[in-house]
Amino acid sequence: MEFRLIDRIRERTAQGREDVRLGIGDDAAVVAPPVGQEIAIAVDTMVEGVHFPVGTAAADIGWKSLAVNLSDLAAMGASPAWALLALTLPPQPAESLKQFIDGYAEGFAQLAQPHRLALIGGDTTRGALTISVAVHGFVPPGKALTRAGARAGDVVLVTGTLGDAAGGLQLLQRGARVDEGDGRAAYLIERLHRPTPRLAAGLALRERASACIDVSDGLLADLGHICEESGLGAEVDAELLPRSPMLMASFDELAVRDFALAGGDDYELCFTVPSAMVVDVQTDLARLGCGATRIGRMVEGAGVRVRDAQGQWLETTRHGWDHFA
Ligand code: ADP
Ligand code: MG
């Protein structure tokens, strides 16, 4: 049975790559790393009821389990190549198992194919629904973007818009239907279930961003990591945070600000660049479709401080936003 499941996954995620010498089917995969490149590697685990709501569609789980990993590669400025998939599936009738696998593989493949990512192996076991994906990507020697390296005076930017996924989750928890609100609910829930990893933006930021991170735990927390690793502080203007019209039309101003500052699951890139480079970077990222908005700057000190439209500092200690965690 398990073997037939693995065959279904293999068929549905097939991706020819010269550098995969041996893919799914043997005791281990064998790949030929490109000469002169470094390999960036990341793994992320999603547990039902913790990282996605119970009842999430299998195809959405497939997409998101890969997207969160590709987002990590994007944040490093790496281009994706190979993935491993460890699936833990609850005991269930063969038919529903097959349906889950087919849906999962379809969502996974929808994101994998345009990036020519090959699924080269994995593991399949029984237990509470848990999905672990590991990805491998290439980056020129020494060119990986990191959380360290920001300098005082660098401008802080973020791709896309913030807070949509948290808004989508809130709508789901309220029992909203996807067809509510002229497509607004559908848009926000889609942003939650099908985040877009900013891979092209990550490549464009190589040799230009001084630090970079993907926003998975909320802007405050993740920009906080850049601050820690770079030994600096950051000042953010709340009124500059990029927010989608769909989010603004669905929640009041304070909720939107909370979502944008502390909501998780956006998978946008937050990065720092020297001020002389900001316009160039913004032009390139606009061309790539995601855009980049300047939201603040790096300063001497520690921690992230947020200013409101009146210039007042908000209460933004980690603790102050704990209600959101
Ligand atoms: P082994 O007992 O040697 O680990 P498995 O039966 O676990 O072998 O796996 C057989 C083959 O199928 C291996 O190549 C493995 O990488 C692949 N595989 C198993 N589960 C998955 C999965 N969920 N996704 C992709 N490949 C898988
Ligand atoms: Mg195994």
- Chunked in runs of 10, what are the mean pLDDT values of the chain (325 residues)? 81 91 95 97 96 93 98 98 97 94 97 97 95 98 97 98 96 81 90 97 97 97 97 97 97 95 96 98 97 98 94 69 43
Q: How far is the CA of 21 from the centre of ligand 2 (A)?
A: 19
pLDDT of the residue at 74:
98
Q: How far is the CA of 130 from the centre of ligand 2 (A)?
A: 15
Measured from the CB, is residue 112 less than 6 Å from ligand 1?
no
pLDDT of the residue at 316:
64
Coil, strand, or helix at residue 209? coil
Q: How far is the CA of 14 from the centre of ligand 2 (A)?
A: 19
Q: Which ligand is nearest to the CA of 120?
A: 1
Give the pair of three-digit tokens for residue 314. 């908000």
Q: What distance lies between CA 89 and its chain's CA centroid?
A: 24
Q: Atom 22 (ligand 1): residue with closest C-alpha? A: 122
pLDDT of the residue at 285:
98
Q: Find out whether 266 is annotated in a ligand binding site.
A: no
Q: How far is the CA of 193 from the centre of ligand 1 (A)?
A: 26
> Nearest 5°: CA angle at 21, between 15 and 27?
100
* Cβ-Cβ contacts under 8 Å for 149 (sequence gap 6 or more): 210, 211, 230
pLDDT of the residue at 317:
53
What does the domain layout of the chain look like in residue ranges? 2-139, 155-307
Q: How far is the CA of 135 from the centre of ligand 2 (A)?
A: 17
Coil, strand, or helix at residue 61? helix
Element (H, E) at 159: strand 155-159
Q: Find out whether 44 is annotated in a ligand binding site.
A: yes
Q: Atom 24 (ligand 1): residue with closest C-alpha? A: 122
Whether 304 contacts 218, CB under 8 Å: no
List beta partners, residue 133: 44, 85
Q: Which CATH superfamily is domain 2-139 in?
A: PurM-like, N-terminal domain (3.30.1330.10)
Could you tell me the fold of the domain covering 155-307? Phosphoribosyl-aminoimidazole Synthetase; Chain A, domain 2 (3.90.650)
Coil, strand, or helix at residue 232? coil
Q: Which atom of ligand 1 is nearest to the CA of 123?
A: 20
Q: Find out whether 280 is annotated in a ligand binding site.
A: no
* Cβ-Cβ contacts under 8 Å for 309 (sequence gap 6 or more): 238, 239
Q: Which atom of ligand 1 is nearest to the CA of 26?
A: 14
Measured from the CB, is residue 11 less than 6 Å from ligand 1?
no
